[in-house]
Structure 1
Amino acid sequence: MNLKLEAALYRQITAHLCAAYPKEAAGLLLGTAAGASWDASRMLPLTNKFAHAEQYHRYLITAEDMLEGEDHAATFGLDVVGVFHSHPDSAPQPSDYDCQHALPWYLYLIVSITAGEPASARAWQLREDRSDFNEAVLEIGPAAPARPNSSTFE
């Protein structure tokens, strides 16, 4: 399993996550999936809906957020292919909470934010039996030639 995204999109993702630091933040990855190769070309930043006091180590994406993501993706001929979220001051690997709330048909991009700056990122997919995650290959490529509105939220 591979997750590919352009460097410009990764910068947009990390800007959204860093803006929420020291709390967790999240959003949706929009793109295409073909076999083991998943390409994210846009992102939809979301507001963390978890109780305010718990946002430092939890995020919540609601069913309404998912519907908004699906509608937004469809306008560009894309699908929701994954979820991204931050782990403030901790490693970019899934927590038990992440495992309990993930869905096996999405990829999960977890970005470690340390002292308000992006530190590292890893991608994961929940196993079909929901017992744990398998790591996906994360490919963050250089920016492609300029395309209007290629990876921004509108």
Structure 2
Amino acid sequence: MIRISQEHLQTIHTHAESTYPDECCGIILGYMASEGKTVVEVMPTENVWDTEAAAEFPGDRTTESKKRQYAIAPQVMLQAQREARDRSLNIIGIFHSHPDHPAIPSECDRLYAWQGYSYIIVTVQNGKAGELGSWSLDHHHQFQAEAIEIIPNL
């Protein structure tokens, strides 16, 4: 389960709508406890997917665009890790949008996902954020739906 405030969900929706028709992306900071993950901050980031980013992945992904792919710059991930550590938090997940597609993980999402993270995906239909889901990898590297609990703003 992932616990998240309405304010954080609104930040995700706003970022997704602002980058449409491209995918948005961002980092989720929080902590893990026995009842699941709790979001403390969502950090919208720039989608830096380009042919250089595509070259880092196996297969021919150079024809893909920001409309169907996302990448977070490594230096942004490192900075987020430092900030999380300094605040006694962890990176607990990643969020991104699926412009004009359902809020379910793609095969590419699955191939490059990291164990232990939550992956929040929001659909954006014609520029308007809609359905949102959270997913995490099981021990067989397959996505499983993750319950979302709305909590009061922290």
TM-score for both structures, normalised by structure 2:
0.85
- Alignment length (residue pairs): 142
In structure 1, the residue matched to 2:143 is 133
In structure 1, the residue matched to 2:110 is 99
Task: Let me know the Cα RMSD of the aligned residues.
Answer: 1.6
CA-CA distance at 1:68 after TM superposition: 1.3
CA-CA distance at 1:51 after TM superposition: 1.4
In structure 2, the residue matched to 1:147 is none
Equivalent runs, 1:1-150 vs 2, <5 Å:
2-51=1-50, 54-130=65-141, 132-141=142-151, 143-144=152-153
CA-CA distance at 1:74 after TM superposition: 2.4
Amino acid of the structure 2 residue aligned with 1:138: I
**Which runs of no fewer than 5 residues in structure 2 stay unpaired?**
52-63
Q: Taking every aligned residue pair, what percent have the same amino acid on both sides?
A: 27
Q: 1:12, 1:27 → 2: CA distance?
A: 10
The one-character-per-residue Cα deviations of 1:69-95 (angstroms, maximum 9, x if unpaired) are: 111222322110000000011111000
Amino acid of the structure 2 residue aligned with 1:66: M
CA-CA distance at 1:35 after TM superposition: 3.0
SS at match of 1:61: coil
SS at match of 2:147: strand
The one-character-per-residue Cα deviations of 1:89-124 (angstroms, maximum 9, x if unpaired) are: 111100000011100110100011111111110000
- Name which of structure 1's ranges 70-79 and 29-38 shifts more when overlaid on structure 2: 70-79
- Name which of structure 1's ranges 48-57 and 100-109 shifts more when overlaid on structure 2: 48-57
- Name which of structure 1's ranges 50-59 and 16-25 shifts more when overlaid on structure 2: 50-59
Q: 1:140, 1:8 → 2: CA distance?
A: 10
TM-score for both structures, normalised by structure 1:
0.85
Following TM superposition, the consecutive aligned residue runs of length 4 or more in structure 1 with deviations greater than 4 angstroms are none
